[in-house]
Structure 1
Amino acid sequence: MNETPARKRNPVIGLIIVVVASFLLPITLTGSSIAMPGVAGDFHNSLPAGQWIVNAYDLTFASFMLASGSFSDRFGRRRIFLLGSIGFALASYVSALASGIVMLDVTRAVAGLAAAMVLTSGSALLAQLFDGPARTKAFGLFGTAVGVGLAFGPFVAGALSTALGWRAIFLVPAIVSTVVVFLTGFLPESSDPEATTVDWGGVITFSGALATLIYALLEGPELGWSSPLIIASYVACVALLAAFVVVEQRQERPMFDLSLFRRPQFVSLCVAVVAIVLGTTPLLVYLPSYLTAVNGQSTMHVGMDLMMLTVPTVIFPMITGYLLRWIPVRHMVTASTGFIAVGVAGLTVLHPGISNWAALGPYSLVGIGVGVSFGVMDGAAVSSVTPERAGMAAGMFNTMRLAGEAISIAVVGSLLVTFTRSRLDGRLDGFPGPYGHQPQALADALNQGQLSGPAGTVPEASRAAFKAVAANGYTGGLHAALWAMAAFVAAATVLVAVVGARRTARVETTVAVLPEDVAEDVTQADERIPAGALR
């Protein structure tokens, strides 16, 4: 490992710099969803274009996570951290000043790429700054910062949007990131002399497959699922995924070791994390639009409502760490997805005019499930493989998580607009104006938090009836999407539980037929290695 002589200089300052930079990343993700209604009001953009504000960021974040790790190893962790911080700041400034939806979408994609550079190089820097128990505490604070950013991101973004407008959601992180850029000089430099190449083939094919899949999912409701362009996008996705598999199998140092998917424990954990983000991330993205459109809430009010979901994600990782003394990890993983499945199903209580406290139970269940997963999932994924492959497993697991976020936003967004449109079909014919006989147009507007605007296009005498039809159609679409999400997460819960039980049974059978001293060694080994996975 090549390092500067100042490796141990100012470790606390280095920790503060990395933690502050990492704190900005989840705030930007949730903040983008809070900004969607305001952006739609200013730019009058289509629904897919508005969804790309969030998806472009998540897509490039996921696609370049592993590549950024390779860049950090080869070109230097501090250098990549600095470039990522500069890119994040510049992209955020341009987002705040964007004059149209295309510029905003492009800058969000650039910000996601920069965020991947910051997160991967920042974690590598912490590993160089600290050793032993101090490293554990540093990474605990690092994870807490990400969790706090996720928990309070909706509230911070809502407060900024209410007080200063949606552009402040991007401007404030840009200013903070600028400060981080000037403090980067306090960080030491390090690199990996064995990292001599970058897996460009893997980067291009993996990113292309994700991009074409998400494009098809977002544009499908608008263009039609049988549209030649949508079909071509799915074909391109399959072709790029096949090419990705071929490329990775031929790499000496692949960024994505596909052989790990031969391990049932690792596969089940990947399924669990995808289920968790599918049951959670779309809520943070699409509930602000629902609450804004149907209940007429301010963005700050929406942010406060979502804290019922996000605050438990900060508290329960600590509680989970304490409970692990008595409860096996595999039960914790199963419980986390189970809580989320029940909570998402319970959110079907949402309806026009619902009070904040009426949905506290379902919100809390989802938040508890996410908090429990924060406390065990990453360690479980790393412990499900041999120690020498732990770094690869961690990178792949986080890539699956981020890719799952991007895909889940696209899938649930498509379901939501499709279900809403089907419930509005035939119910707008009696209303004059541009939305009469146009359920697709109204569904798009509703899913961007716009109801007062469309309602203003009908005569005042019909306005209340129009709002009732629109709100009921949107609510029905939301409920259908929530049931679909809950079903997927519930199925994943069963899968994780079954695979975990099989692993435990296999170890117990092996122990039963071995001599006592050997059986004891096997049992201890099982507790050390797979415990993080499914024990």
Structure 2
Amino acid sequence: MAVRERTVDLPDLSTGRRAWTVAVMCAAVGLVIAMVTVVNTALPELALHTGISQAAQTWIVDVYTLVLAALVLPAGAMGDRYSRRGVLIIGLAVFAVSCAVPLFADSTPWLIAARAVTGLGAAMIMPATLSIINASFPPEQRGHAIGIWAAVAGLGGLGGLIVAGLLLRYFSWQSVFVGPAVLAVVLAIACFTVPTSTEPASHRFDTVGALLSTLAVGSLVFGILRAATLGWGNAVVIGPIAAGLLLGCLFAWFESRHPAPLLDVRLFTNPGFAIGSVSVMVQFSAAFGALYALAQYLQLVHGYSPLKSGLALWPIAVSLFPLSLVSAHLARWLGLRLLTCAGLAVVAVGIVLLGGLGAHSDYPALAIAVCVLGGGLGLTAPAATSGILDNVPPDKYGVASAVNDATREIGAALGIALAGSVLSSVYTDSIRPSTTALPQAVREVADGSLAGALVVAQRSGAPGGGLAEAARVAFTHGMWFGLLALAGIVAAGIITVAAIRHW
């Protein structure tokens, strides 16, 4: 499908003003991504001081992703329709206020509700950042700017680990919410200095399409998130996933007949747009699934602190950042399809290398593996984002950015759920021969997780040393199969990209 030609004047910006715009937008998207791992890292201390249950902890983590994924497409369309900068500033304000809630109320309902509202703010922030960058640069200069944005988005999770580790080292658990709140306020003020743009159209906002997309993506992500704890065969998992797919089909049918759709679904018949969407989802499945497993591996198998864990993973930036800066240029030289297949193959190799880490693997093996993974992500992420944005008319940059963000969130949820469920299942099967002599209640704790097994081993005195070692080996065994499943997702992505034909 050919992109509809529509001329939109670029703002007359100096080089310094464009650089400032990129810096502010990257800080904003980095804040949104980092907020996931910041809260994950703070959960143990938060639970210790508030007494919230394990189920509540899960919801504090998941509700942010759920709301962000469900609302990002309508939020991107609102930016196009009304004002990208205006939606961004409102989103940052919502983000800041909701992050400040734990200072005044730390009960379970308040914490979960605050995280949901933070997800709403994040949904307004993410697509606006990328669409503002894209609308501020001429086509020949966008690749470098998008590469920087994609690199920051890719490294935001690791940045969150380090920031959380530093804050928790010197301050209470509330600091991991107060810090982002202050930064959001600063960024909201800074955003008044960046350019804005809107869709030059007078049609009505597609409210029905916004509602259908919210329900479809929300149901799908909810089911995927629950799979990590309930298993893929549970009705609470199957039902929402099936409902999400059916609602997605209904959304596509409705949008294809709407005179001014929220998302023109015919865009997915464009090879560049389709390849970019598949690539982004696969990349983030691999990256977030691997990060989920590695955070536990470093802290529970090797005994690293949260701060040291984050620092240990930073070699990924050595390859990710420089390759992100040239990714869009390589895509124009080699072609998006070839670069995507090659980059995803490198991602798969990195995932397999990470899965091969054992209970006694040394640090260089980890550093090499994350560098390989970072190289694959650096090659593919900016090119995929450019593939999505370059194939829409300028007045739809917000919606296209939202598609990029929605596929990221769906991919991240899928990767964590897949890696987590496979890891947990294999771990339990592997540890059981070492826990058969334990009382049933204690055995269930040890069989449930590596953390539980280490607690049991610590309380068992000298005999617990064997259990701890067996649990660590069982975990790395589970991690191998969990990351192998992620590599399978990446392989499926490569086949899909190769099969998307030109027309």
Q: Same fold (TM over 0.5)?
A: yes
Cα distance in 1 between the residues matched to 2:428 and 2:225: 15
Q: In the alignment, does 2:218 pair up with 1:211? A: yes
Question: Once the two structures are superposed, what CA deviation does each residue of 1:325-351 show, in whole Å capped at 9, x if it has no partner?
Answer: 754443221111001111111112322
Cα distance in 2 between the residues matched to 1:385 and 1:84: 24
Unaligned runs of 5+ in 1: 507-535
Q: Name 1:287's counterpart in structure 2.
A: 294
Q: In the alignment, does 2:88 pair up with 1:81? A: yes
- 419-428 or 334-343, larger mean C-alpha shift: 419-428
Q: Name 1:465's counterpart in structure 2.
A: 466
Q: Name 2:372's counterpart in structure 1.
A: 365
Q: Name 2:484's counterpart in structure 1.
A: 483
One-letter amino acid of the counterpart of residue 42, structure 2: A
Three-state SS of the structure 2 residue aligned to 1:460 is coil
- Residues 202 and 38 (structure 1), Cα distance of their counterparts in 2 relative to 1, 3 Å cut: farther
Three-state SS of the structure 2 residue aligned to 1:340 is helix
- 295-304 or 97-106, larger mean C-alpha shift: 97-106
List aligned pairs for 1:52-451, cutoff 5 A: 52-95=59-102, 99-100=106-107, 102-126=109-133, 142-143=149-150, 145-147=152-154, 149-150=156-157, 152-164=159-171, 166-187=173-194, 190-192=197-199, 194=201, 196-220=203-227, 222-223=229-230, 227-264=234-271, 266-320=273-327, 323=330, 327-383=334-390, 393-425=400-432, 427-432=434-439, 434-438=441-445, 442-443=448-449, 446=450
Q: Name 2:3's counterpart in structure 1.
A: none
Q: In the alignment, does 2:494 pair up with 1:493? A: yes
Contact 2:289–2:486 under 8 Å retained in 1: no
Cα distance in 1 between the residues matched to 2:106 and 2:455: 21
Cα distance in 2 between the residues matched to 1:202 and 1:157: 38
The number of residue pairs the alignment matches comes to 493
Q: Name 1:474's counterpart in structure 2.
A: 475
Contact 2:224–2:241 under 8 Å retained in 1: no
Q: Once the 2 structures are TM-superposed, how far is the Cα of residue 102 of structure 1 from its aligned partner?
A: 4.8
Unaligned runs of 5+ in 2: 1-5
Q: Once the 2 structures are TM-superposed, how far is the Cα of residue 437 of structure 1 from its aligned partner?
A: 4.1
List aligned pairs for 1:38-57, cutoff 5 A: 38-39=45-46, 41-42=48-49, 49-57=56-64
Cα distance in 2 between the residues matched to 1:91 and 1:486: 37
- Residues 202 and 287 (structure 1), Cα distance of their counterparts in 2 relative to 1, 3 Å cut: farther
Contact 1:95–1:108 under 8 Å retained in 2: no
Three-state SS of the structure 2 residue aligned to 1:287 is helix
- Residues 418 and 148 (structure 1), Cα distance of their counterparts in 2 relative to 1, 3 Å cut: closer
Q: Once the 2 structures are TM-superposed, how far is the Cα of residue 84 of structure 1 from its aligned partner?
A: 0.5
- 7-16 or 94-103, larger mean C-alpha shift: 7-16
Q: Once the 2 structures are TM-superposed, how far is the Cα of residue 87 of structure 1 from its aligned partner?
A: 0.9
Question: Once the two structures are superposed, what CA deviation does each residue of 1:170-223 show, in whole Å capped at 9, x if it has no partner?
Answer: 321211112223444445665435254333333333333333334334444655
One-letter amino acid of the counterpart of residue 181, structure 1: A
Q: Once the 2 structures are TM-superposed, how far is the Cα of residue 487 of structure 1 from its aligned partner?
A: 1.8
Cα distance in 1 between the residues matched to 2:310 and 2:193: 35
- Residues 384 and 44 (structure 1), Cα distance of their counterparts in 2 relative to 1, 3 Å cut: same
Q: Once the 2 structures are TM-superposed, how far is the Cα of residue 371 of structure 1 from its aligned partner?
A: 0.6
Three-state SS of the structure 1 residue aligned to 2:348 is helix
Contact 1:48–1:219 under 8 Å retained in 2: no
Q: Once the 2 structures are TM-superposed, how far is the Cα of residue 299 of structure 1 from its aligned partner?
A: 0.5
Question: Once the two structures are superposed, what CA deviation does each residue of 1:45-93 show, in whole Å capped at 9, x if it has no partner?
Answer: 6666444444332332222222112222333333322211111112222
- Residues 97 and 47 (structure 1), Cα distance of their counterparts in 2 relative to 1, 3 Å cut: same
One-letter amino acid of the counterpart of residue 465, structure 2: A
Q: Once the 2 structures are TM-superposed, how far is the Cα of residue 136 of structure 1 from its aligned partner?
A: 6.7
Three-state SS of the structure 2 residue aligned to 1:350 is coil
Cα distance in 2 between the residues matched to 1:332 and 1:47: 42
RMSD over aligned Cα atoms = 3.6
Three-state SS of the structure 1 residue aligned to 2:201 is coil
Contact 2:70–2:214 under 8 Å retained in 1: yes
Three-state SS of the structure 2 residue aligned to 1:337 is helix
- 102-111 or 328-337, larger mean C-alpha shift: 102-111
Larger radius of gyration: 1
Q: Once the 2 structures are TM-superposed, how far is the Cα of residue 369 of structure 1 from its aligned partner?
A: 0.4
Contact 2:95–2:117 under 8 Å retained in 1: yes
Cα distance in 1 between the residues matched to 2:427 and 2:52: 19
TM-score, normalised via structure 2 length: 0.84
TM-score, normalised via structure 1 length: 0.79
Cα distance in 1 between the residues matched to 2:107 and 2:221: 21
Cα distance in 1 between the residues matched to 2:291 and 2:367: 15
One-letter amino acid of the counterpart of residue 182, structure 2: I
Q: In the alignment, does 2:32 pair up with 1:32? A: no
Q: Name 1:518's counterpart in structure 2.
A: none
Three-state SS of the structure 2 residue aligned to 1:351 is coil
Three-state SS of the structure 2 residue aligned to 1:473 is helix
Three-state SS of the structure 2 residue aligned to 1:197 is coil
Cα distance in 2 between the residues matched to 1:132 and 1:226: 47
Cα distance in 1 between the residues matched to 2:268 and 2:105: 42
